[in-house]
Structure 1
Amino acid sequence: MTYNKKVEKIYSQLLGEALTKQLAKTHILQNQFGFQDANGKDISISATTVGEILKGRRNMTSRSALAFQETLQYQTPKALFLQDDSFKIELLSQLILIILADSIFNNTLFKKSLIQKIDKCTKKGIQDFVKKHKDVLIDSLSNFFPDFPEEESSYKIAEKLTIWLFDFACLIEKF
């Protein structure tokens, strides 16, 4: 599995979990997702599609993203795709965990740098590291994506996250 596929899997699962929590808070059902197109026509998204996105098993296409954004009242695509700071912190923690644990990252300078910078390469150690540097990490991640990213699907956002890992590696060297 490639870096991109690893990031895509992590990102899709976390996004699905965050959106599931949002549905529970707003009491919106999976069969209530839709948006109005440019002609004012109501477009709905199937409950099956919504359910698969929430489980992290399906790409949130631009059409689905519009439905999620409008139904859950996110102001921008960035707010939908990157949620809030707690989402970003969890994403960062999961990315670090996969970099440290997955063999695909073996023998990379990035992994070696992380091992040197994190006191204990445990889940708690990773969380402590992210909390210690959260302002810089969240700023870097947030600034990498504009409010209206060119990427219009969750898989494309995950692909761009893979590109952001280069910035992340540079930040790690500065810590």
Structure 2
Amino acid sequence: MLKTKIRTLYCESLGNALKQQLVEQEIPQNEISYYFDDEVRLISAPAISQILKGKRNISLDTVDALQETLSLPNVKSVFFPNLHFCELLIIQLTELILTDGFSSTKQLFQEKKKGIQQNLSTLATALYNFFPDFPKEETSYQIADSIVEWLIDFVALVAQL
């Protein structure tokens, strides 16, 4: 259940961040493409629309297209656009744990809530650094599943605050 909620939370947050980048760079949804064998391949506008709403997994082809179209330096920057994105994700994960976590974890996070807020940048950096520039994960669902695994580290970091 927590895995599904984290997947939804992550995909919606990522969709919003990608949408913002497209708007800032004035790139229409129907112009997201990548090169394959000297051929331009477009990602369909309906597929991009679903991704931006957080309703669709981002496949490897789409990751390549987003990286190329948005002129991003690596794959990681598609899945984690910036540290601010990670900070928002930490806030959302904290809220999720406070509402849906195990009672002992809820209690810990309630006690450390102020510390989490004060160390938001450090926690976001820990999440960001958990993934290499070219992660083994190839889709947004796989990234979300790895975030679930990272929660153990997150709880340990919060306990140290």
Q: Determine helix, strand or coil for the equivalent of 1:146.
A: coil
Identity of aligned residues (%): 35
Q: Is the 8 A contact 1:45 1:67 kept in 2?
A: yes
Q: In the alignment, is residue 173 of structure 1 matched against residue 159 of structure 2? A: yes
Q: After TM superposition, list the pairs within 5 Å mapping 1:31-110 onto structure 2.
A: 31-37=30-36, 39-102=37-100, 105-107=101-103, 109-110=104-105
Q: Is the 8 A contact 1:89 1:130 kept in 2?
A: no
Aligned to 1:118: 113
Q: Is the 8 A contact 2:86 2:125 kept in 1?
A: no
Aligned to 1:124: none
Q: Determine helix, strand or coil for the equivalent of 2:85.
A: helix
Q: Determine helix, strand or coil for the equivalent of 1:137.
A: helix
Aligned to 2:143: 157
Q: Is the 8 A contact 2:90 2:120 kept in 1?
A: no
Query: For residues 131 and 116 of structure 1, what CA distance do their matches in structure 2 show?
Result: 12
Specify the code of the residue in structure 2 equivalent to 1:142: Y
Q: 1:52-100 deviations in whole A, cap 9, x for unaligned?
A: 0000000001111111111111111111101111111100000101111
Query: Normalization by structure 2: what TM-score?
Result: 0.95
Query: Normalization by structure 1: what TM-score?
Result: 0.88
Query: For residues 102 and 127 of structure 2, what CA distance do their matches in structure 1 show?
Result: 24
Segments of 5+ residues of structure 2 without an aligned counterpart are none
Question: Which consecutive segments of 4 or more residues in structure 1 shift more than 4 A?
Answer: none
Q: Determine helix, strand or coil for the equivalent of 1:172.
A: helix
Q: After TM superposition, list the pairs within 5 Å mapping 1:6-45 onto structure 2.
A: 6-37=5-36, 39-45=37-43
Shift in Å at residue 130 of structure 1? 4.0
Query: For residues 144 and 84 of structure 2, what CA distance do their matches in structure 1 show?
Result: 18
Q: 1:106-157 deviations in whole A, cap 9, x for unaligned?
A: 42x32221011124xxxxxxxxx44411232123112210000000111100
Greater shift after overlay, 48-57 or 133-142?
133-142
Q: Determine helix, strand or coil for the equivalent of 1:43.
A: strand
Specify the code of the residue in structure 1 equivalent to 2:79: F
Query: For residues 135 and 44 of structure 1, what CA distance do their matches in structure 2 show?
Result: 36
Q: In the alignment, is residue 132 of structure 1 matched against residue 114 of structure 2? A: no
Q: Determine helix, strand or coil for the equivalent of 1:35.
A: strand
Specify the code of the residue in structure 1 equivalent to 2:122: V
